[in-house]
Every structure is written in C-alpha cells, then in structure tokens.
Amino acid sequence: MKGIFVVGFMGAGKSTVGRALARRLGWSYFDLDDEIEAAEHAAISDIFAARGESEFRRIETEALRQLVQRDDAAVIALGGGAFTIAANREMLRGHGSTVWLDCPLEMVQRRVAHASHRPLARDPVAFAALYESRRGAYGHADIRIPIASDDPEVTVELILSQVRLP
C-alpha cells in the first residue's frame, strides 16, 4: 500500500482532515477506529471498558496491519494512541507518509469538551498529561502540520504542499 497516515491527538482533526484529503486526492479513506468498531461490533469506549486498553491496542494493531496490506492508495486516520506504539510506527514505514496534525492543547480540549464517547478525555488533568506524553511519539511522523484553523481545507492544503505523493 501507498498511503497517507494521519496521526495526532484526539480532537486534532484526523478524521475530518483525512476524509477531505482523500476526497481531494480521489483515494480511499479509512478511519482506524471505525474499522475496529465495525469488526468488533462494539464502540471503542465499550472495548476499553470491557477488555482494557492493552486488548484494545492489540485489536488496533491488527486492524492497522490489515489496512496496510491493501493494494490501493488510501488516506488512513489513526486513533490518537496508535502511533505511540513503536511497532505500529515501524509497520507504516515504507508504506507512505505519516502526517502529524499538531493541534494545540487548548484547541483539542475545546473540540472534545462534550464528547462522551472518548474515555481518555473525561479527566482534564489526565487529558493534558496524556497530550504531553504522546507528543514525543507523534514527533516521529514524516511531516508535522501545525494546526491553527478549524477549517479542514486549510490543513489539506498544508499537507499537499509538503507530502510526496506515490
């Protein structure tokens, strides 16, 4: 597969930007969390609650592996924690470009403030600590896109100006 893998913290705009980018390129689009929910017949929050984070991460890695094995060009939005796992980052190497949507903490906090389906966003102090702890992993992405706008088209333009298309 040759693709663009959109990474970043929850609320950074990965799904919205990924969809817009795929539409612009005429490529397939996949949201890793949506793929997991469809395969498991359960919401991400329910998987976390019933099986724990480590089992969710195992399921997530397998779902990512299946997407990477596709033959078509695609934009894939990863869940916020997927790129923090070194094995997942290694799996993506050679399959396209990884793009980090580096969204300020205040902006992601505003975007997820009313999202009850995000189990890791319920405690504001833990949320901020998780945000900071993941930045180092996101820094491994091929391209960093600073997010300053809520307009996904602005972000798509920035990505297209920096990414090498297959």
Provide the terminal-to-terminal Cα distance of the chain, rounded to the nearest Å. Answer: 10
- pTM of the predicted protein model: 0.93
Taking residues 114-139, report their average pLDDT: 80
Q: Residue 148: which domain range? A: 3-158
Please report whether residue 137 resides in a domain.
yes
Structure confidence by residue, pLDDT tens digits, 21-70: 999 999 999 999 999 999 999 998 899 889 998 999 999 999 999 999 99
Q: Is residue 164, in this structure, part of any structural domain at all?
A: no
Q: What is the mean pLDDT of the chain?
A: 92
- Residue 123, domain member (yes or no): yes
pLDDT of residue 124: 80
Distance CA 87, CA 74 (A): 20
Number of domains forming the structure of the chain:
1
- In this structure, is residue 30 part of a structural domain? yes
Burial 93-108 (b: 16+ CB within 10 A, else e): eebbbbbbbbbeeebb
Residue 163: inside a domain: no
**Rounded Cα–Cα distance for residues 42 and 106 (Å):** 30
* pLDDT, position 48: 87
